[in-house]
């Protein structure tokens, strides 16, 4: 693999009038698929951690507390069943491709495969237990399956946070990419793959159609290494782990086919960049057609049984959190009144699902009559679009700044969830004056209930631009899933503790 120093020397050489060698066909056999050191090492860490979690969780059924769920506590039969479940669980994860290096640390498919493999296994176990009359299986179905799945997802999430910190420092834990695209498409690829949240990709070189750019030029700091016909040689020069092709009028299907062959011979992964704006991968499927492949994008569903399950979980979760948080909310309400006399709550009309308005309740963080000062503070507005935000808003009380920083002021929104007006997870609840300025694209965020938290919360809150906030809300509305909701709730805890983007 090319080191950083070697790559630097290569870039220096390419800054002048250097011509890449004409590729020679030495061997038509493909090289072994690319597997970088970080992918292999990371996979071993994840696999070892999953094994520990599985063994530990299957062992908890032998605690005295769960004796009532087993027919023969502590028997050899029970121990043998635990060992079999642990082994079968790991086999199910392997068979379900839960350790695919291309997905580890990237996207939500990794978590989805964990869930699918686990529930398939325990579904079969439930059927086998029913047919075979195995009473001991109750403990595995009632305790081990949900607790184990939570443990596996939490462990993967922890490893992913560790990996992303290393990738941000570009210390060899990234997949080096050669981009093959026109100049306009290359700019987009570099911006997205080299972004801090680019899921560990790093564009290290670009090949463009002949005549699009001169050799030695750079696109967003990435050197142009040659034209499309030299993609294989360029990938070898910079030690690329993957070749990504973004189609355009200048790059024909024949060009794409040859680049794929070159990447195969070089042992690099080959990707086609399908620019499906804000479409979750699970909604896309490749359908065969004569002489081509068609990418079918399933339409989003806003009326389904899955949505009913979400509403039930929302109500149950909000009820539980309300009971647990009642003492905290009473203390906060008292503190708000002592800090600034008046009502501890602030009611504001917001727009919910299908454009229906409702009164959202929060703890009051501003002085009484703060709404009447909006006009005088218009020139101080720091937000784009129809939003109104001031980082150091003079209307916010001393206690209010603390409540906002840790999102404590939003706890009373649990009552809106119980009333069916909001969800635990969803788009940001907009003001009526904001909705009046919505375009047709923005109105799609109103197809689902607004949420107490959401992608906007975990991605930066008030630090987000208006366009990015809208994009995240629309993406969630069209692509939400129960698994995504669970992951957002986990990330919300971290966002609240850090206080990033809260003001």
pLDDT of residue 8: 44
Tell me the CB-side half-sphere exposure of residue 208, using CA atoms within 13 A: 22
Measured CA to CA, the distance from residue 359 to residue 353 in angstroms comes to 13
pLDDT tens, position by position, 197-247: 657 788 989 998 887 776 678 888 888 888 888 888 888 888 888 899 987
Torsion of CA 55, 58, 59, 60, to 10 degrees: 130
Measured CA to CA, the distance from residue 340 to residue 367 in angstroms comes to 7
Alpha helices in 99-174 (DSSP H): 109-132, 137-139, 145-168
Domain boundaries, given as residue ranges, for the chain: 37-168, 174-275, 305-498
Measured CA to CA, the distance from residue 29 to residue 15 in angstroms comes to 33
pLDDT tens, position by position, 405-451: 888 999 999 999 999 999 999 998 988 888 888 888 888 889 899 99
Confirm if 96 and 120 have CB atoms less than 8 A apart: yes
Max CA distance (Å), the chain: 82
Helices (H) and strands (E) in the chain, counts: 16, 12
pLDDT of residue 316: 94
Mark residue 40 as left, alpha or beta (left: phi above 0; alpha: psi -120 to 50; beta: remaining).
alpha
pLDDT of residue 233: 87
| Per-position b or e across 311-340, b if 16+ CB within 10 A of its CB | eebbbebbeebbeeeeeebeebbeebeebb
Strand order, beta sheet including 218-219? 218-219, 222-227, 201-208, 175-180, 242-245, 269-272
β-bridge pairing 345-351 and 357-363 = antiparallel
**Strand ranges for 228-274 from DSSP E:** 242-245, 269-272
pLDDT of residue 327: 93
First-to-last alpha carbon distance for the chain, in angstroms, is 46
Compute the chain's Rg from CA coordinates.
27
Instruction: Give me 76's structure tokens.
Output: 């050899």
Confirm if 363 and 336 have CB atoms less than 8 A apart: yes
Question: Which position has the token pair 């569903």?
Answer: 301
pLDDT of residue 6: 42
Task: Flag residues of the chain having pLDDT under 70.
Answer: 1-37, 63-77, 132-137, 170-171, 196-198, 214-215, 275-278, 291-292, 369-393, 460-464, 495, 497-503
pLDDT of residue 357: 93
pLDDT of residue 389: 61
Give 480: exposed, middle or buried? Use CB within 10 Å, 0-12, 13-18, 19+.
Answer: buried
May I ask the CATH class of domain 174-275? alpha beta
Question: Which position has the token pair 């806003």?
Answer: 302
């Amino acid at each position: 693999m090319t080191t950083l120093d070697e790559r630097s020397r290569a870039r220096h050489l390419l800054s002048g009038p250097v011509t890449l060698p004409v590729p020679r066909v030495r061997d038509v056999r493909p090289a072994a698929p690319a597997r970088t050191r970080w992918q292999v090492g990371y996979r071993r860490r994840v696999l070892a951690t999953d094994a520990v979690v599985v063994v530990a969780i299957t062992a908890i059924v032998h605690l005295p507390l769960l004796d009532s769920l087993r027919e023969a506590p502590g028997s050899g039969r029970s121990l043998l069943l635990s060992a079999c479940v642990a082994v079968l669980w790991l086999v199910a994860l392997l068979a379900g491709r839960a350790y695919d290096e291309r997905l580890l640390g990237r996207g939500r498919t990794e978590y989805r495969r964990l869930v699918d493999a686990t529930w398939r296994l325990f579904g079969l176990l439930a059927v086998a237990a029913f047919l075979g009359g195995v009473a001991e299986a109750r403990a595995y179905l009632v305790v081990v399956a949900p607790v184990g799945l939570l443990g596996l997802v939490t462990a993967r999430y922890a490893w992913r946070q560790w990996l992303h910190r290393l990738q941000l420092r570009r210390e060899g834990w990234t997949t080096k990419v050669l981009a093959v695209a026109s100049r306009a498409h290359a700019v987009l690829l570099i911006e997205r793959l080299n972004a801090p949240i680019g899921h560990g990709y790093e564009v290290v070189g670009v090949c463009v159609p002949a005549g699009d750019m001169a050799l030695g030029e750079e696109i967003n700091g990435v050197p142009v290494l040659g034209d499309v016909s030299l993609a294989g040689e360029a990938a070898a020069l910079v030690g690329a782990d993957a070749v990504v092709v973004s189609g355009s009028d200048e790059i024909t299907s024949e060009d794409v086919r040859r680049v794929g062959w070159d990447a195969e011979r070089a042992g690099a992964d080959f990707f086609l960049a399908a620019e499906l704006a804000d479409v979750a991968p699970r909604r896309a499927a490749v359908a065969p057609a004569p002489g081509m492949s068609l990418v079918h994008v399933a339409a989003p569903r806003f009326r389904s049984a899955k949505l009913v399950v979400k509403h039930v979980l929302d109500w149950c979760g909000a009820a539980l959190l309300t009971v647990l948080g009642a003492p905290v909310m009473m203390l906060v309400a008292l503190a708000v009144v002592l800090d600034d006399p008046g009502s501890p709550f602030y009611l504001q009309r917001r727009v919910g699902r299908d454009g229906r308005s409702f009164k959202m309740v929060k703890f009051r963080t501003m002085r009484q009559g703060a709404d009447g000062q909006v006009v005088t503070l218009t020139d101080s507005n720091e937000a784009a679009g129809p939003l109104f935000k001031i980082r150091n808003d003079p209307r916010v009380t001393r206690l209010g700044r603390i409540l906002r920083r840790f999102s404590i002021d939003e706890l009373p929104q649990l009552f809106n969830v119980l009333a069916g007006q909001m969800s635990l997870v969803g788009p940001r609840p907009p003001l009526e004056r904001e909705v009046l300025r919505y375009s047709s694209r923005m109105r799609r965020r109103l197809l689902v209930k607004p949420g107490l938290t959401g992608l906007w919360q975990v991605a930066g809150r008030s630090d987000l631009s208006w366009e990015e906030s809208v994009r995240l809300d629309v993406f969630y509305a069209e692509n939400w899933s129960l698994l995504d909701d669970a992951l957002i709730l986990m990330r919300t805890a971290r966002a609240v503790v850090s206080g990033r983007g809260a003001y």
